[in-house]
Amino acid sequence: MKKAMVHPWLELLLATQFFTTCRNHLLSNRNDCNLFCIDCEAPPAAFCYYCRSHHHLTHRVIQIRRSSYHDVVRVSEVEDILDISDVQTYVINGSSVVFLNERPQLRGCVSSCKALSSSSYSCETCGRALLDQFRFCSLGCNVKGIKQDMEMPAKAENGSECGGNEDVTSGNIVGSTSENNTGPSTMTEKKKFNENNEEVPPAKRVARHRRKGIPQRAPFF
């Protein structure tokens, strides 16, 4: 049931640099090129608010947004025209979004992110830790994954689907949510330390008796 294909406009979308200033509307306020037309596959792919009203009024246009300097698109704008069921969604500013491209990972971020999310899901392409059970972190990684899937079965042309080689059984998701049933007995200091007082630290000898030993002046010559 998978659509093992990559839309040409999707590759154009992922390769496009957004949030540049529109050359045609340099003096206008809303001249950020943050719009993309799915129907026009001709560059320039990114255009501004005014370009849209001039050239793409009846076209399917999606708006690119930014989150921490990374391009995202709202799920509501692409879910009808794109299969994003394998892509991790994030809620940013109250909207569900997906990232366009893979984000560079800082060293050590993977482990810390995993520790935060407490999940073992990760992007199949770039390895980024995911919050939920998705296959990819972004549309870009999804495209790469699709292309890899397309290249894989190029051996036999029988057309017979020999699925099941990989143990990807989607029914293995066992929710281990039985945590709060048995109240764990709070370990109330049952550890008894050795109460042997044998190890009395040796008191330092106070040289009291030396007092007698203090040589007094001998009055005798």
Closer to Zn ion by Cβ: residue 74 or 128: 128
Binding site for Zn ion (CB under 5 A): 22, 24-25, 37, 39-40, 48, 50-51, 56, 59, 102, 123, 125-126, 128, 137, 141
Least separation in angstroms between CB 70 and Zn ion: 12
Strands of 35-37's sheet, edge to edge?
46-47, 35-37, 61-67, 70-74, 95-99, 90-92
Least separation in angstroms between CB 36 and Zn ion: 9
Least separation in angstroms between CB 130 and Zn ion: 8
Widest CA span in the chain: 127
Closer to Zn ion by Cβ: residue 39 or 132: 39
Q: What is the dihedral of CA 201, 204, 209, 214, to 10 degrees?
A: 180
- Tracing tokens 């370990």 back to the chain, one arrives at 187
Least separation in angstroms between CB 26 and Zn ion: 9
Closer to Zn ion by Cβ: residue 25 or 74: 25
Q: Helices 139-151 and 8-15, interaxial angle, to 10°?
A: 130
Closer to Zn ion by Cβ: residue 100 or 209: 100
In sequence order, the β-bridge partners of residue 21 are 32
